[in-house]
Amino acid sequence: MSDQIQPWPLVKRGNQGHPVPALQYLLRDRGHHVTVDGIFGPKTEAAVEQFQTADQLRVDGIVGPQTWGALVIVLASGSTGDAVRGLQEEFRFRDLSGDPGRGLAVDGIFGPKTAAAVRGFQQALGITVDGIVGPLTWRALVSGMLSG
């Protein structure tokens, strides 16, 4: 089913909400000082351009397939940091229960609850269930698959 995964979303200045928080957490994990507020404003755009320059990508301030592909970080049990917070934010985005106690904490620690969420998401998509968040799982997450 992996051929049915949505393409990487185009995210640019002026966008708000999903998947901007995940993008901002990924930029933070890469050393860029941005506030995670879900608003793609001038500071987020500047961080994207700095990342694109450093990674020798086309510098346009727009997060498309090449930038997402270079920005995402492979995560697994035991991973920590802002990239894990971005992952957890994706699962919070999908939690439609309205019960803040039930959802996944955005704590930056890839523990058992995060691992279970990843495996459940992979299983629901029909992709390899390995609990590892690589490019395909990231792409499915940030493109909004299985979100309400």
Helix (H, G, I), strand (E, B) or coil at 7: coil
Domain that holds residue 16: 2-142
Residue 73 region by backbone torsions, left for phi larger than 0, else alpha for psi between -120 and 50, else beta: beta
- Asked if the model's pLDDT at residue 28 lies above 70, the reply is yes
Residue 72 belongs to a domain? yes
Confidence tier at 1 by pLDDT (50, 70, 90): very low
Residues 49-63 as b/e (b if ≥16 CB within 10 A, e otherwise) read ebbbeeeebeeebbb
CB 66 within 8 Å of CB 57 = yes
Task: Look up residue 62 and give its two tokens.
Answer: 């727009």
pLDDT score of 96: 60
To the nearest 5 percent, what fractions of the chain are helix, strand and coil?
A: 45, 5, 50
Q: What is the model's pTM?
A: 0.93
List the CATH number of the domain containing 99. 1.10.101.10
Mean pLDDT, residues 50-73 taken together: 97
- Asked if the model's pLDDT at residue 86 lies above 70, the reply is yes
Task: Provide the domain count of the chain.
Answer: 1
